[in-house]
Structure 1
Amino acid sequence: MLFSQEEYDARLAGVRARMARQGLSALLVTDPANLYYLTGYNAWSFYTPQVLFVPADGPMLLFTREMDAGGATRTSWLPPENIVGYPERYVHRPHLHPFDWVAFALRERHLIAPAAAGCVGLEMDSHFFSPKAYRSLVNAVPEWTLVDCFELVNWVRSVKSPAELELMRQAARICNGAMEAAVAGIAVGVRQCDAAAAISSAQISGVDGIGGDYPAIVPMLPTGEAADTPHLTWSEERFEAGQAVVVELAGAYHRYHAPLARTVVLGPPSDRLAKLADAVADGLDAVLTEVQPGVPVHELARTWNRTLAKYGLEKPSRIGYSIGIGYPPDWGERTISLRSEDETVLAENMTFHLIGGMWMDNYGYELSESIRVSPDGVEPLTSFPRELLQKGS
């Protein structure tokens, strides 16, 4: 196993303690990142319904598509009898849903009534929990009071163990290598798709004998005037002289992610881009000096906003979020956001993607780091020149 049984036991204990505080007698987990966190199950099977039944007491049960049950026995620490495959005839049927079968399987195992003693938590905002899945549970288990668990497992994941941190450090090394490939591959006349291919190759090949995992998000390459907006990928167009390219990517290692963003300019930067880069660098440095256990998250956002204000700038969106395990379509944990409205207090071994992204009119700039909250400050996980990267004269 990737982690010790003691660590898996501690994770489950943390989840059950939070379940008790929220009045839950059972929890249904559908987020693949949370399945991985609790059981170690890792496969590209999340495009079909799968669920982990976590009772307040007793063994967990993992329900997957029948053909995927074998993969769960190979990657999960759960004993085979706790991994149950639903029949193929339930896959992609207009009037059936696998959770119809799962509900009856739970009923056959006499697990419905004990869970009815309290509320049953659902991951209502999971990318892989559909309205049809919810309707199936409502119809099949009328005894249950179904409630949103509000990212319960995600919150337990927010503080990393020493073993998790080591995986994130390896992911950061892969990330650094991928960014090197990006900077080397972005040049006048090169197709954007070829640069993206070089990045993807580096992400999967890894560094120094450490093989990379597939990242939860593909390389993002907003280019030229399109750099005024985030989350664009690539095209087959060729890079042109004078263009700035915003590169956001991540290294992934055993599903743990370390993202990084830098901006490459093909030639001398414009005055407005150079000034924006100075402002973002100043703001990011100011935030990094504030990071330490016990600091409220909103203080980081306020430090960023005060620094930007000196340059006559403002950024309405958040400046970062909690990271760790990631599956498509996102490497964020969907819990802590670094913004002025978040009252979370930083704790040792929380990990974040700290983002200085500014999207202006027809141009933009992004600078980010993956960080860990250390006992006396901050540990940058990623390591790459923190500046506007110029190529060509």
Structure 2
Amino acid sequence: MRKKASFFPKEEFDRRLATLRARMAELGLDGLLVSAPENIYYLTGLDHQGYFAFQLLIVPLEDEPVLITRAMERATVRDQVPWVRHEGYSDGIEPLPAPSDRSQDIVLSHDHGGEAGLRPWEMSYGVPVKGPVADSATIPVTKTLQAIHDLSLSNARLGVETTSTFFPYSIADGIIKELPQATIRNASDLVNDCRIIQSSMEIECTRQAAQLSDTMMLAAIAAAGPGVSEHEVMAAVYDAMFRRGGTYPGFIPLVRSTRTLDHEHGTWTDGRLKPRDLLFVELAGCIRRYHAPMGRLIFIGKTPSRADSIQRVCEEAMMKAAETIGPGVSAGEVYQAWQDAVDRAGLAGYTRHHCGYAVGIGFPPSWSGGGTPRGLRRGSDMQLQSGMVFHLMSWLLRSGRGDSFLSDTILVTDQGCEFLTNASRAVTVR
């Protein structure tokens, strides 16, 4: 019997599914169409990169969920999530015909009960071939509609993740047009609302990711210095990431120097660090798809004269935000605590769109899930709860009084705020 690849036991997924279904019942939904890879992972444990092609989890209120992927993902689904009913669609060649003379055929696969005969490997499903091939939407739409019909949901009230990056319009439109009797409702945040509070097993993954983040950051700092290329700094980050047991993160580590500091989501170039450069490093260790982002600003060659004073402001603002964090506090209150500290320091004209955002499960291209993350934003009434995890940020770049940047992963607990990443926040020069 194959060992299940998922770290979490089936009981954990049963609990998550029960929580989701309770919320579906509250909203009067008979079924939910889940397409975000983070949400499919949360509900099933499916961890692969095949989500670049259409995949969908259909969650009925009572019956067994159905996972739809390309047929070539059969072995992955079999090994990782054997408790989920799988329906595969082929967007390439059809199976080869039965052999006319078995004695003359060769066996290309041993996984067919010992039968002889020429058989296609599952990877052949999904390989485009010359000649007429159906458009990329038709086959997955047909497979999805069949599964919806089999679950008796054709006339039901269905929730859909309408804002999901991974639910192409051509497929979504094709499905909805063929369900004229169904009631379609936007349920983009339904699974997100469930997974924003991490269980004890999830928190343990996040703690491990945070330890990895600290190691990666220390490796980046140790590698930096005048004359060092940004490539070398990034290589040190990746070396630490993988040697310490991490996996690929949902977002590439950000390594930028002075000339690209304003490139909000840019990362390393082929340049070399120079004396008086700033080195911006923001990264996240990843353990079983759980992330723990953190960031630091490193001075190259020499510490600017105002570095210590602006660093104190930056850290004070972060700590005031952290002191505010706790169950029942609104995200807006946390942001305001950060802003008030900045204002008191004489930087009332300096403001940000948030001072952090929720993190957890992430697949490329994001370590916070698809779309705009749920932030600690001005005026937000989102209520913090124990078990939520945030990337807490204090960002004072181009402030007019110097530059400083600190960010860490924190956990909301019954007692308040716990820092999970803890690399030094002092002024650092290399």
Give the TM-score normalised by structure 1: 0.91
Range 261-270 or range 249-258, more displaced: 261-270
The match for 1:99 among 117, 140, 144 is: 140
SS state of the match for residue 285, structure 2?
Answer: strand
The match for 2:40 among 35, 56, 62 is: 35
- The answer (yes or no) to whether the contact 1:251–1:259 under 8 Å persists in 2 is yes
Partner of 2:181: 143
Structure 1 CA distance, aligned partners of 2:40 and 2:238? 26
Q: Percentage identity across aligned positions?
A: 31
Structure 2 CA distance, aligned partners of 1:259 and 1:376? 22
The match for 1:310 among 337, 344, 354 is: 344
- The answer (yes or no) to whether the contact 2:252–2:283 under 8 Å persists in 1 is yes
Partner of 1:258: 292
Does 2:200 match 1:200? no
- The answer (yes or no) to whether the contact 1:39–1:77 under 8 Å persists in 2 is no
The match for 2:267 among 185, 208, 233 is: 233
- The answer (yes or no) to whether the contact 1:29–1:52 under 8 Å persists in 2 is yes
Q: Which of 1 and 2 has greater Rg?
A: 2
- The answer (yes or no) to whether the contact 1:246–1:262 under 8 Å persists in 2 is yes
SS state of the match for residue 261, structure 2?
Answer: helix
CA offset digits 1:76-130 (Å, max 9, x no partner): 2424xx01111123968783414322233225525333xx232x11112222122
Partner of 1:62: 67
Range 31-40 or range 310-319, more displaced: 310-319
Runs of 4+ in 1 over 4 A off after TM superposition: 90-94, 361-364
The residue identity in structure 1 corresponding to 2:363 is Y
- The answer (yes or no) to whether the contact 1:99–1:137 under 8 Å persists in 2 is no
Aligned CA distance change for structure 1 residues 293 and 62 (closer, same or farther; 3 Å): same
Structure 1 CA distance, aligned partners of 2:419 and 2:384? 15
- The answer (yes or no) to whether the contact 1:103–1:140 under 8 Å persists in 2 is no
Aligned CA distance change for structure 1 residues 94 and 151 (closer, same or farther; 3 Å): farther
Give the TM-score normalised by structure 2: 0.84
Which structure 2 residues correspond to residues 300-379 of structure 1 after superposition, within 5 A?
300-313=334-347, 314-333=350-369, 336-360=374-398, 364-379=403-418
Which structure 2 residues correspond to residues 285-296 of structure 1 after superposition, within 5 A?
285-296=319-330
Task: Supply the RMSD in Å over aligned alpha carbons.
Answer: 2.1
Range 83-92 or range 309-318, more displaced: 83-92
Relative to its length, the structure with more strand (as a share) is: 1
The residue identity in structure 2 corresponding to 1:100 is V
Instruction: In structure 2, list runs of 5 or more residues that go unmatched.
Output: 1-5, 93-124
Partner of 1:87: 90
The residue identity in structure 1 corresponding to 2:289 is R
Which structure 2 residues correspond to residues 166-205 of structure 1 after superposition, within 5 A?
166-205=204-243
Aligned CA distance change for structure 1 residues 285 and 154 (closer, same or farther; 3 Å): same
- The answer (yes or no) to whether the contact 2:156–2:183 under 8 Å persists in 1 is no
Structure 2 CA distance, aligned partners of 1:244 and 1:215? 24
How many residues are matched?
Answer: 382
- The answer (yes or no) to whether the contact 2:295–2:407 under 8 Å persists in 1 is yes
Pairwise CA distance, 1:337: 1.3
Partner of 2:198: 160
Structure 1 CA distance, aligned partners of 2:408 and 2:25? 36
SS state of the match for residue 185, structure 2?
Answer: strand
Structure 2 CA distance, aligned partners of 1:185 and 1:155? 40
Aligned CA distance change for structure 1 residues 110 and 153 (closer, same or farther; 3 Å): closer
CA offset digits 1:32-54 (Å, max 9, x no partner): 11111100111111110000000
SS state of the match for residue 36, structure 1?
Answer: helix
Instruction: In structure 1, list runs of 5 or more residues that go unmatched.
Output: none
